[in-house]
Amino acid sequence: MRSSARTLLCLLFVLVPVFVFAQRSDREPSQIRSAGGGAAPDISDSMTDEQRAEIQTGLEQNIAMLKAVGKLAPESPLAVSLNWPVRKANFTDVFIEGISNYVDQNPANPGSTLDWNCGTRTYDVAGYNHGGIDIFSWPFGWLKMDNFQVEVVAAAAGTIIQKADGNFDRNCAMGGGNPNMIFVRHSDGSVAWYLHMKANSLTSKGVGATVAQGEFLGVVGSSGSSSGPHLHFELYNASNQLQEPYQGACNGLNANSWWAVQEPYRNTRINALLTHSAPPSFPTCPTQEVPNTRFVFSPGATIYMAAYYRDQLTGQQTQWEMLRPDGSTYTSWTHTSPNTYNASYWYYSLALPSSPLGTWKLRTTFQGQTVERPFAIGPPSSALVTLSGRVTSFGGRGIAGANVTLTNSATGANRTALTNRNGIYTFASVTAGESYTMTASQRRYTFGNAVRSVTPVENTAGLDIVAR
């Protein structure tokens, strides 16, 4: 990207967790203690018309240059459809993100907002109306960023027409600074903007290279004028008109949805169900969060149990159960959401019994979604598990002869395994309840910073690593 465009770009993402205490449920057994919880982040940003015009001028110049050298085909009349632009790269959480804001449909500012669903889930400031979708990492955004766990992928196939990398990525407040970003032009002439990524995480492909739908572009970060890890996703049609990818009654920018499958306005679900040795800690930005996760407990120890939600609505109930190793119910209770949140979490504590030893389960049922989290009661050294997965190309073909390294996150001790002809690897006799990372290498493929993280309490398959 031209340096002037990079200098002028300035977006703000304010991530301020607001902590509140969980309300005690009507059906909460006496041994369960309501410990606490948290509410959604608050988000705002700013960009002037002059800044946006400067960026677009640079993109138009690159498009003209790429067409002149034959690296951009003429626009197709067939509109592309978009897939989701982020994906998880760990195997602990069920989901890894939430949406804080959409495109502001009301041109007046400040203080006059309207989103595609006729709500106010957007924002503006003097001289700027929010022009994209803010997709933030949840829970533990800084931890996920530091461990490369939320990846940005191409929403549609296209050609890279601009990119910038290497900028500071732990910003916390409004101010200057350039984001790490990439711009992809699609076959129909539309252009997607991907902003605020982690430093030195962007694809090695350069301007003029093509990317497939779903191909790795980078890692969610907090570069530029940003105060929390998130992706700002912005879309323009072939006529360089801002688009809101969602179809809704108050979307005055475009009549149809750009998504292959459009998710609902409130995509209510549990992102993660975790067990902890102590309450999760959310230090001051940009210090990495401390989840205090634990999956193996001594008999009689105190367990903390937390559910992390996206789009939890007022009055919605969660049924909690703790199951013994034989599947019988040890205890159960209900939580009722006291408000509506973009993202939220609630946790409880309980003194565990001394028996039976073995693998227990924590189960939540929320809006038709059932999530289970196994945990063990007993000496950690007594539980050994097997981990397995595949190393594949981006297209899904197994890579033979790849070296996979399993590293204990606490001790640094590591082991290696070699993939077979189908790209499959296996690690046997792995101590349960400890945290590990897995990386791969093979001389013919590039894996970049692809890292897989897992804290197993039972045999775990599907720990796949994909070349980039």
pLDDT for 312: 96
Given CA atoms 158, 163, 169, 174 in this order, what sign does their dihedral have? negative
Identify residue 30 by its one-letter amino acid code: S
258 is a domain residue: no
We report the CATH number of the domain holding residue 228 as 2.70.70.10
253 is a domain residue: no
pLDDT for 454: 84
Locus of tokens 């072939």: 238
Tokens of 337: 């959401």
Q: What are phi and psi of 6, to 5 degrees?
A: -65, -40
pLDDT for 431: 86
* 220: helix, strand or coil: strand
250 is a domain residue: no
pLDDT for 8: 34
The domain boundary, picked from 340, 360, 379, lies at 379
Residues 410 and 352 in one domain: no
The domain boundary, picked from 379, 397, 415, lies at 379
We report the CATH number of the domain holding residue 357 as 2.60.40.1930
Task: Note if the bond before 338 is cis, omega within 30 degrees.
Answer: no
* 305 closest CA partner among 315, 291, 316, 290: 291
Domain span at residue 416? 381-466
Residues 317 and 437 in one domain: no
pLDDT for 277: 93
The count of structural domains within the chain is 3
Residues 316 and 400 in one domain: no
The domain boundary, picked from 379, 408, 441, lies at 379
pLDDT for 51: 67
Residues 300 and 446 in one domain: no
CA distance linking residue 238 with residue 76, whole number of Å: 10
Residues 216 and 356 in one domain: no
| Cα 189–Cα 240–Cα 130 angle in degrees, nearest 5 | 125
230 is a domain residue: yes
pLDDT for 7: 37
371 is a domain residue: yes
Residues 336 and 400 in one domain: no
Residues 67 and 199 in one domain: yes
CB atoms closer than 10 angstroms to residue 176: 11
Q: What is the CA radius of gyration of the chain?
A: 23
* 100 closest CA partner among 43, 19, 174: 43
- Residue 320 near residue 271, CB atoms below 8 Å: no
257 is a domain residue: no
51 is a domain residue: yes
Residues 140 and 231 in one domain: yes
Residues 277 and 420 in one domain: no
437 is a domain residue: yes
- Residue 83 near residue 258, CB atoms below 8 Å: no
DSSP letter at 122?
-
Residues 227 and 314 in one domain: no
Residues 348 and 402 in one domain: no
- Residue 149 near residue 450, CB atoms below 8 Å: no
Task: Using DSSP bridges, classify how beta strands 133-137 and 150-153 pair: parallel, antiparallel or unpaired.
Answer: unpaired
Residues 351 and 452 in one domain: no
pLDDT for 372: 96
We report the CATH number of the domain holding residue 461 as 2.60.40.10
* 226 closest CA partner among 163, 311, 136, 344: 136
| Cα 197–Cα 201–Cα 207 angle in degrees, nearest 5 | 85
Tens of pLDDT, residue by residue, the chain (468 residues): 433 333 333 333 333 333 333 333 334 555 777 767 877 565 555 665 666 787 888 999 999 999 999 999 888 888 899 999 999 876 678 999 999 999 999 999 999 999 999 999 998 888 888 999 999 999 999 989 988 889 999 999 999 999 999 999 998 876 767 889 999 999 999 999 999 999 989 998 999 999 999 999 999 999 988 889 999 999 999 999 999 999 999 999 999 999 999 999 999 999 999 999 999 999 988 999 999 998 889 999 999 999 999 999 999 999 999 999 999 999 999 999 999 999 999 999 999 999 999 889 999 999 999 999 999 998 755 578 889 888 988 777 789 999 999 999 889 999 999 999 888 899 988 988 788 988 999 988 888 666 778 888 777 878 888 887
